[in-house]
Structure 1
């Protein structure tokens, strides 16, 4: 009885240690856009949260353009009247490395209206939809690998005037911290945008979930390519187990390596060509496993790998480099491409045939520097207090993407601090109402403010006197009342002040009056 008790205690202790040292499940957030309640979808019964965290838009019934799109029945679309930029801003996201994926859809009964728009994550554009995307499995979603370090993530959709952005779902999936490390350039300032991910020798598209893959690898989509062309190669497959597949940090599913393409006698070179954006850097990942029964040992099959005609790997011997047959081998290289095509060629040197299991291609994107959070909060307070019309948008980051800055906000980049800041507000004659909030003084770098010709009421905030960089202040033709704050006399850089057309009273601060002698242009009329 004592031996049994001791044995049970040892088993319990081992189980406890194993359990405590086991890696926790990765963070996952999946949003069904437009949905009013949480749902689960077959066949995996994946949980999707009801729609939340959006800045605008309208829910509608969805038409899924592809069979790989999650089987969700709703979407959210963003008409231009809601503003040119709209975002999902999701908080309480643990710091880490993430796969962010957005599926696009079509509004029900409007399947011929294919919208074209741009997508950004954390202020960096990761995707621009191209005509015909709804008929291509690889283009019905955008995916990028990005570090999220601020406890939140903003995913924004930017109108280009060619239809309303329409979003079916958003997925934020935590992956290994070192996933897809490709060299010294890799890091927190770099985003990897998925350009293409192929599984060779099969006709069935699959996600990692279909492969029963490790969740720390994300849930990658593998587009099938059974053959690269008629009579140029032949598919191979096996049911044998594959060693060294699902390992840190990328966790590729074992089943990925159970199919491949092998070149033929008539066409020894194995080549694949795809379209890419020119003048970009690409990280290319090539997957191999020797599953051909005719190759029994190292040295039987040796080939070179070329990218656009240039050799990047010489004398690749899958058995020799992986250590055995039925063993995964992954090779990675990063190349700069000037043209619009990427061609991967496997050129046999021994054995007359090459073999390839899968291909991954990522565009390497330098992440945009973001605007100072304090200044973003100040602009949001200004937006709320002045009741900025929806057409302005003012969602996401004011200065990035640089292609889509906020209307009426001028940006300047501070190289020393690595942040954008606001140096001008141009919102004259925009039908603004409400009052000026004290938070406007948090825009410490402002040189110019023009809020003339609106319906702004209340007093001029005395805190404006702390914006010492201000050179131009035009608040004319509003409904401001009270007196001119004494603090404005501290604005030693101020050269133009226009307060005409308001209901101001009291005396002019002596510091301002004296400045007229120094060439400043001040206009103010008391009623």
Structure 2
């Protein structure tokens, strides 16, 4: 009976049996595929600074994280301070790697060439160094490069040390690896806590390509949301969606349990996010969405691309139509979201220069106010810098591995950006539309050991190779690169025969070969094995040394001459002072050096006359003076100078300028008077900025006549002349309306 029942249970036609077999196989295959391709397939999760080589599972996301030793060279592992350890939300916040050495330090993450990825870097300072650098008031920032292009600055100035800052970028892998580089700006030691790489669908974010990447500016979800951050497993691509902070009236939260369909897979917004939305009370018609910049972030310098996600989840059939504006004007007119279907609004490739301020305004024909489910805002990253030619890059990295050259800090791309090219390499950037090529490798005195790296022979643009003064052993390989013009293998331990291809090129003059100091030269006396001096160095020494010596002699001669002239001048001035008997008068005698100092080396001329030049000067007490200097051609002929000084030193009158002193020197004869800032009498009489009337002119004549040497005053009003005659031993002066004559 039991056997019958079994037979009855499985009794069916042949076609039905075949159908069941295929169905079972399909289910089995699907189960195997699901097991082989978990949702996190392709995720790269690195806990920076984690010292345990075994991986661990994150408690919140169930994502497996591993240590970073396989992805980076250099740096130091740290834990955050003990007092902050208990408050860490996950294991990644507890450790970090810092890079106190080098201007650029890079992580290299395995990728698929041409694949689109979301890459995220996280930073938790945690006062790991005990210096409280984020809160000490000084700038604390460093840079990020995605590949060979600038991504963003990480500015932690005045940031709570327990806070976690993250940066996200969506980019296309240029090769089988994506590099993330930390750039030292000199304002704090760069560090990183975690790196996360997430593969995206090729159809997602269609405006991202090999020339354009986008950095996450802000990403929000709306509605009644509990968690501050929504990520994996809600989002299969582990994007960070922040909760919109403004939920107070007149904002109203909507939610539904109905399925919300997506019309395309351009953004693949999670269903849980689309089932929630925010709107406003029906008494209002405008929703303002202001996306503020993050701490220490300058949004005005960025080019922004907003992406709006809408799905009307209201059960009502009333119409909902609105315009979408930004600070520059209308972006999308008369938009109507579909019920329970997602629609994304964006302008592909059009990045805005305005602030991230958006206004959703109800149209007159609409019955319901605006609504929004999610918003993404990205900033533009131009991928203009070209990476090193892939073959050259791979071969030089093989050389690096072959000789264990980690100590040279060869990180990131070998040639790009130019300011961070590898030490010892020279690259050719002459063809702006092509990847730079490596033309020179200089590893002289680099402690190289072992045989000759075969990778050098594959670098088809290499022109100069210097491996001198190392410990290379074995035979010289048959290097047949026609591009090579200079090969220096001197002072190594190479032996064996020299390849014919190298000798032929040397003999033809197309290759400069240097092998001296190797066992291979023990029985060879050709020039490439001779201990020849460096021609360039010899020429430079022969030219530079004599030039330097002659220059030094010339400079020393000039300085000595100037010194002697100065010494002679000073001596001459002092000697003159000593040999001449000073006048027994109450005014000061100035030296020539003092006059130079007073007049700032005779810089400011305030007047000229037949006797010489008048200079403006300032005494030690800041009194201004006029220094009248007799012309050098008249010094030797002057016989009345000293008698005049004696006479003028005795004249004191309210209407006469005071003689402060004199200078008697082989270099000059000079009188030092009080300075009259309004000019001389002639300038006042002739007019200008200040004009004299007839009465003032008459008073001047009368006052002048009161001087001890004036004999008479005549005033001729009809002709408007004032004539004043006075006599001294040497001159007669006449004062007219134009001044003294």
CA 1:291–1:385: 2 relative to 1, 3 Å: closer
Pick from 59, 68, 79 the counterpart of residue 42 of structure 1: 59
Shift of 1:330: 1.7
Aligned to 1:517: none
CA 1:203–1:89: 2 relative to 1, 3 Å: same
**Counterpart Cα distance in 2 of 1:109 and 1:500:** 52
Aligned to 1:79: 99
SS in 1 for 2:347: strand
**Counterpart Cα distance in 2 of 1:188 and 1:246:** 26
SS in 1 for 2:393: helix
SS in 2 for 1:17: helix
| Equivalent pair of 1:484/1:507 in contact (CA under 8 Å) | no
SS in 2 for 1:341: coil
Aligned to 2:436: 420
1:508 has 2:526 as partner:
yes
Instruction: Point out the structure with the larger strand share.
Output: 1
Shift of 1:80: 3.0
1:117 has 2:142 as partner:
yes
Aligned to 1:160: 185
CA 1:42–1:468: 2 relative to 1, 3 Å: same
Aligned to 1:196: 218
Shift of 1:198: 1.1
| Equivalent pair of 1:246/1:252 in contact (CA under 8 Å) | no
1:380 has 2:380 as partner:
no
| Equivalent pair of 2:145/2:181 in contact (CA under 8 Å) | yes
**Counterpart Cα distance in 2 of 1:178 and 1:132:** 38
Shift of 1:131: 3.1
Aligned to 1:170: 195
Pick from 194, 209, 216 the counterpart of residue 187 of structure 1: 209
Pick from 212, 215, 239 the counterpart of residue 220 of structure 1: 239
| Equivalent pair of 1:35/1:74 in contact (CA under 8 Å) | no
Pick from 76, 79, 100 the counterpart of residue 119 of structure 2: 100
Shift of 1:59: 2.6
Shift of 1:244: 0.9
| Equivalent pair of 1:61/1:74 in contact (CA under 8 Å) | yes
| Equivalent pair of 1:65/1:140 in contact (CA under 8 Å) | no
SS in 2 for 1:255: helix
Aligned to 2:46: 31
CA 1:8–1:119: 2 relative to 1, 3 Å: farther
Shift of 1:90: 4.1
1:252 has 2:274 as partner:
no
Aligned to 1:361: 377
SS in 2 for 1:378: helix
SS in 2 for 1:334: coil
Aligned to 2:427: 411
SS in 2 for 1:333: coil
Structure 2 unaligned runs (5+)?
Answer: 1-7, 135-139, 540-741
Aligned to 1:315: 334
Aligned to 1:440: 456
**Counterpart Cα distance in 2 of 1:147 and 1:137:** 32
Shift of 1:220: 1.0
* Matched ranges for 1:42-61 at <5 A: 42-53=59-70, 54-61=72-79
| Equivalent pair of 1:118/1:158 in contact (CA under 8 Å) | yes
Aligned to 2:697: none
SS in 1 for 2:381: strand
1:272 has 2:281 as partner:
no
CA 1:303–1:134: 2 relative to 1, 3 Å: same
| Equivalent pair of 1:371/1:399 in contact (CA under 8 Å) | yes
SS in 1 for 2:397: helix
CA 1:39–1:507: 2 relative to 1, 3 Å: same
CA 1:273–1:238: 2 relative to 1, 3 Å: closer
Aligned to 1:516: none
Q: Could you list the per-position Cα deviations for residues 99-149 of structure 1 after superposition, in whole angstroms to 9, with x for gaps in the alignment?
A: 222222325643723563333444444332123495599972222233447
**Counterpart Cα distance in 1 of 2:86 and 2:323:** 36
Aligned to 1:349: 363
TM-score calculated relative to the size of structure 1: 0.75
Pick from 10, 17, 32 the counterpart of residue 26 of structure 2: 17
Pick from 220, 225, 229 the counterpart of residue 206 of structure 1: 229
Pick from 386, 394, 399 the counterpart of residue 410 of structure 2: 394
| Equivalent pair of 1:99/1:172 in contact (CA under 8 Å) | yes
Shift of 1:219: 0.8
**Counterpart Cα distance in 1 of 2:119 and 2:106:** 14
Aligned to 1:490: 505
SS in 1 for 2:414: coil
Q: Could you list the per-position Cα deviations for residues 261-315 of structure 1 after superposition, in whole angstroms to 9, with x for gaps in the alignment?
A: 334656724232444666765443211122456xx236x3211222332322111
Aligned to 1:301: 320
Q: Could you list the per-position Cα deviations for residues 470-517 of structure 1 after superposition, in whole angstroms to 9, with x for gaps in the alignment?
A: 5566778x567769876166277869778889996633369x99xxxx
- Computing the radius of gyration from Cα coordinates, the structure with the larger value is 2
Aligned to 1:89: 108
**Counterpart Cα distance in 2 of 1:192 and 1:344:** 20
**Counterpart Cα distance in 1 of 2:264 and 2:162:** 28
SS in 1 for 2:410: coil
**Counterpart Cα distance in 2 of 1:336 and 1:138:** 33
**Counterpart Cα distance in 2 of 1:94 and 1:418:** 18
| Equivalent pair of 2:388/2:414 in contact (CA under 8 Å) | yes
Moved more, 501-510 or 122-131: 501-510
**Counterpart Cα distance in 2 of 1:358 and 1:280:** 21
**Counterpart Cα distance in 2 of 1:344 and 1:493:** 70
Instruction: Point out the structure with the larger helix share.
Output: 2
| Equivalent pair of 2:448/2:470 in contact (CA under 8 Å) | yes
SS in 1 for 2:155: coil
| Equivalent pair of 2:263/2:342 in contact (CA under 8 Å) | no
Q: Could you list the per-position Cα deviations for residues 33-69 of structure 1 after superposition, in whole angstroms to 9, with x for gaps in the alignment?
A: 3141221222343322344413233332246899896
**Counterpart Cα distance in 1 of 2:20 and 2:123:** 50
TM-score calculated relative to the size of structure 2: 0.56
**Counterpart Cα distance in 2 of 1:136 and 1:306:** 38
Structure 1 unaligned runs (5+)?
Answer: 514-519
CA 1:180–1:70: 2 relative to 1, 3 Å: farther
**Counterpart Cα distance in 2 of 1:467 and 1:76:** 45
CA 1:160–1:410: 2 relative to 1, 3 Å: farther
Pick from 169, 194, 219 the counterpart of residue 144 of structure 1: 169
